[in-house]
A and B are shown apart, each in its own frame.
Chain A
Amino acid sequence: MRVRDLSRREFLTTGAELAALAGVYSLMPRTDAAAADLPKPGGADWVRYGFDLHNTRFNSRETMIGPANVGKLKVKWKFDMEDNWIGYQTPAVVGDTVFFGSGRYAYALESATGKKKWSFDWGAGGAWEQANATAVSPRFWGGRSSPQYDQGRIYFGASSCNVYCVDAATGRQVWKTALLDPARAERMGAQIFYSPIVYRGKVYMAYSGGDAAIFCLDAETGAIRWRFRVAQEVPLELEAGGGSPWTSGAIDEQKNILYNVTGNAKAVMPNLGLYTSSIVAHDLDTGELLWYYQVHPQDDFDLDFNAHPMIFDAEPPQRIRANPRNSVAAGNKAGIYCWDRYTGQFFWKVMLGMICAGCGPEFNAIATAYNRIFLQWASSSSPKPFSASAALNAYTGEVEWMVTNPVVNSSPVAVANGLFYQGFVNGKLESLDARNGRTLWEYSLPSAFRGGFAVANGAVYASNGEGGEWKPGMTNKQYSLYCFTPDGK
């Protein structure tokens, strides 16, 4: 039927019906995958990099692995990367499926066996070569953006500066959005290190490099809704403002706020270099900058924020008569900082070792649970490098317990069911009693632990990568994703 054959009444009626149908359709579950093929959710899933929207890296629903049985953890299965690329990502675990990426591939694995369900090659069609043309070390090629599962889809970024949305059941691409054109990405050495945060139909993303920016995309289409160029005081033409968001954002659902932390300045101009080396708070929907706190103006000391923002309500100690604090905390190479998350008021700062370009909670080695901040602090520039692991009081920043480690850390930690999980650049994994820092479990991976833990549904997931410079073929090590369960069962 052609439109010109309709009377005005018929046209309006038909239009209204179509509009109503469209409205109903938008509320229906997506049909791009058979419901039967979608992951069956578990009771204690770990769906994104920071576990939840608050970036706590604390799985409060995990009950199967605790202090009593963590010592029995053994390898249940391991999945070898198909191109033997280094592991840099935290898996997303949804019931019977584990989503994970390495090199040019995103994988879906059976969580019970490690058997591959599908893989998605984002590097096909020249994207891999394009990504590798950027001016960065080969160890940063490939995917460092950990996937997030949301309503039957997987979202992640790639070193090509493209963001991908993939059908979780089939591994088929739903959409792809370029945050930056390839020529500019190459000039800037730009890549996506940021792990997406998906919430209420939006995907929040960022790229790092010479002149970084934070984005809000439409989760359905990938269209860019707003963007925030970080180093706004540096002329855009220079493409050298810096301010890279190396981590992932956190969301306050109550007041509709997105928090991000940024890296150091790539140019020292006769201004502060806003908003580098800062925490920035944006309205989720409009991208309006609500507040910021710049920790180091004109930071040419490379003291990036290297640990993600986390949201929590801090209860005061008994000796302090006060209300809980609406807090946001994050870490850089010079400290762990805590602010009022609605006003930006500075609450406290803690440092546990040396300050340097490779120091601090490197890399995203923080979590929050039980009214505490758990962290590792790499003291890489000490005469004999070491690290410290600690639990801080979330309200005051006071150290509640601290232990030292003979090697440095460079990977995200996790907390679940009374346990603090940490790893090191020598490949050692440990689980500590979250109450006192006592070591309850150890395991040695063949090479550095970089990607971070996921603890979900009675299993612990970790992968191995490299701590220093690396390129394919440089070592004869096998790079794999490991699944640990009590007695390996």
Chain B
Amino acid sequence: MDEKFNRREMLKLVGAGAVACLPGLAVTPSAIAEDGVAEVRVESFYPRGQWFYEPAGIYIPVGTKVRWISNDYGATVSSFHPSIDNHELRMPEKAKPFDSGILARYGRYRTFEWTFEVEGTYDYFSRTFEPIGMVGRIIVGKPGGPGEWPPGYGGREGRAVVFPAQAKILAALPSGEIVAKKTLPYPKDLVVRSFPFGDLNR
């Protein structure tokens, strides 16, 4: 292109680029792919002993379908709901709970899909990796409902515990920020298990 920029255009372009490069202010892509389905990857990273959803937080309009695609065997995508392992309710009261069952790396059990019809905040977790903080959050339309209550509130109702690593990850996924940025990555540095070199001399 050999068109010349005028000074105003040049400053505008450079300024936009600088803003995009600032950490935390970068333009975050929507979680929704071209086919209208939002995709979340189910990942493991063995060197740090981690299992997580990527992105961990997404914003979607009401009626959007979410597709989870697994890259390893063993995780689930399960609602925080009393019907699932006695977990506290962390989703809108009127919404139906979901539970993918174990997801695999190949074959027909690799993906799980769910359409979100009720507005509010949905927290979900893996039934097999809860203690190491495998949780995610979806904001449908507008944040709200029991998903916004503090993790562990269900203890007084006799619900299952919320593990510290889960609470730590959820605290790093504030709903307002998810709405503003559309997606939030999994905060990988918050919950790192020490690699078991320690067994060398026991």
Q: Which of B110, B129, B197 contacts A268 (CB 8 A)?
A: B129
Q: Out of B50, B51, B106, B197, name the residue touching A135 (CB < 8 Å).
A: B106
- Is the CB–CB distance between B107 and A189 below 8 Å? yes
Residue from the list A187, A238, A270 in contact with B131, Cβ < 8 A? A270
Q: Contact at A135–B109, with CB atoms within 8 Å?
A: yes
Contact A301 to B51, CB < 8 A, known contacts A135-B109, A189-B73, A268-B128: no
Residue interface mask B33-60, A partner, CB < 8 A = 1 = 0000000000010110111000000000
The residues of B that contact A135 with a CB separation of less than 8 Å are 73, 104-107, 109-110
B49 touches A189 (CB 8 A): no
Asked if A349 and B128 make an inter-chain contact with CB atoms under 8 angstroms apart, the answer reads no
- Tell me the residues in window 249-302 of chain A with beta carbons closer than 8 Å to chain B beta carbons: 266-270, 295-296, 299-302
CB distance from A19 to the nearest CB of B (A): 50
Once bound together, how far apart are the Cα atoms of A384 and B130, in whole Å?
Answer: 35
Q: What residues of A have a CB within 8 angstroms of the CB of B50 in the complex? A: 300
Q: How far is the CB of A271 from chain B (nearest CB, A)?
A: 9
Q: Is B46 within 8 A of A300, CB to CB?
A: yes
- Whole-angstrom distance between the alpha carbons of A301 and B50 in the complex? 8
CA gap between A268 and B75 in the complex, in Å: 10
- CB of A190, distance to nearest CB on chain B (Å): 10
A267 and B47 form a contact (CB under 8 A)? no
B196 pairs with A301, CB closer than 8 A: yes
Interface presence of A136 (CB below 8 A): yes
- Tier of interface size on chain A: 35 or more
Contact (Cβ within 8 A) B195 A301: yes
A412 adjacent to chain B (CB < 8 Å):
no
Which residues A410-432 have CB closer than 8 A to chain B? Answer: none
Q: Is A357's CB within 8 Å of the partner chain B?
A: yes
Query: Does A73 belong to the interface (CB within 8 Å)?
Result: no
Cβ of B162 within 8 Å of any chain A Cβ, yes or no, is no
Residue of B nearest to A349 (CB): B200
CB distance from B13 to the nearest CB of A (A): 40
A300 contacts B196, C-beta separation under 8 Å: no
Q: Report A-chain residues with C-beta under 8 Å of the C-beta of B102.
A: 187-188, 210, 238-240
Query: Which of A240, A296, A349, A351 has the most CB atoms of chain B within a 10 A radius of its CB?
Result: A240
Q: Give the Cβ gap from A177 to chain B, nearest Cβ, in Å.
A: 24
Closest CB in chain A relative to B67 CB, distance in Å: 17
A355 CB–B CB distance under 8 Å: yes
Query: Does B132 contact A136, Cβ atoms closer than 8 Å?
Result: no
A223 contacts partner chain B, Cβ-Cβ < 8 Å:
no
Q: What's the Cα separation between A242 and B102 when bound, in Å?
A: 12
Nearest residue in A to B132 (C-beta to C-beta)?
A: A268
Identify which of B73, B131, B163 contacts A210 (C-beta below 8 A): B73
Interface residue B74 (Cβ < 8 Å from any Cβ of A):
yes
- Could you tell me if A268 and B199 are in contact, using CB atoms closer than 8 angstroms? no
Chain B residues near A134 (CB-CB < 8 A): 106-107
Contact with B along A146-184 (1 / 0, CB 8 A): 000000000000000000000000000000000000000
Q: Is the CB of B109 within 8 A of A240?
A: no
Nearest B residue to A266 via CB reads B74
Partner of A266, one of B46, B109, B128, B131: B128
> Quick check: is B193 within 8 A (CB to CB) of the other chain?
yes
Q: Is B127 an interface residue (CB 8 A)?
A: yes
A133 nearest CB neighbor, chain B only: B107
Report whether A210 and B107 are in contact in the complex, using a CB–CB cutoff of 8 Å: no
Which of A267, A269, A346, A355 lies in contact with B195, CB distance below 8 A?
Answer: A355
| Distance between Cα atoms of A270 and B165 in the complex (Å) | 12
A35 vs B123: C-alpha distance when bound (angstroms): 68
Residue of A with least CB distance to B106:
A135
Contacts of B131 in A (CB 8 A): 268-270
CB distance from A212 to the nearest CB of B (A): 12
CA A351 – CA B197 in complex, angstroms?
11
| Contact across chains for A266 and B73 when beta carbons are under 8 A apart | yes
Contact of B127 with A238 in the complex, beta carbons under 8 Å? yes
**A334 interfacial contact with B, CB 8 Å:** yes
Given contacts A189-B105, A240-B128, contact A303 B196 (CB under 8 A): yes
- Nearest-neighbour CB distance to chain A for B200, whole angstroms, equals 7
A303: nearest chain-B partner, CB-CB: B196
Decide yes or no: A300 and B109 within 8 Å by CB, A268-B128, A268-B132 being known contacts: no
Known: A270-B130, A300-B132. 19 other contacts (CB 8 A): A135-B104, A135-B109, A186-B107, A189-B106, A234-B128, A240-B74, A242-B74, A266-B73, A267-B74, A268-B128, A268-B131, A270-B131, A299-B196, A300-B44, A300-B49, A300-B51, A301-B46, A349-B199, A356-B47
- 4 A-B pairs closest in CB distance: A135-B104, A267-B128, A135-B107, A266-B74
Interface residues of B (CB under 8 A from A): 44, 46-47, 49-51, 73-74, 76, 101-102, 104-107, 109-110, 127-132, 163, 193, 195-197, 199-200, 202
- Residue pairs across A and B with Cβ atoms less than 8 A apart, 14 shown, are A135-B109, A186-B107, A186-B109, A187-B101, A189-B107, A209-B73, A210-B73, A240-B102, A240-B128, A300-B44, A300-B49, A300-B129, A301-B47, A301-B193
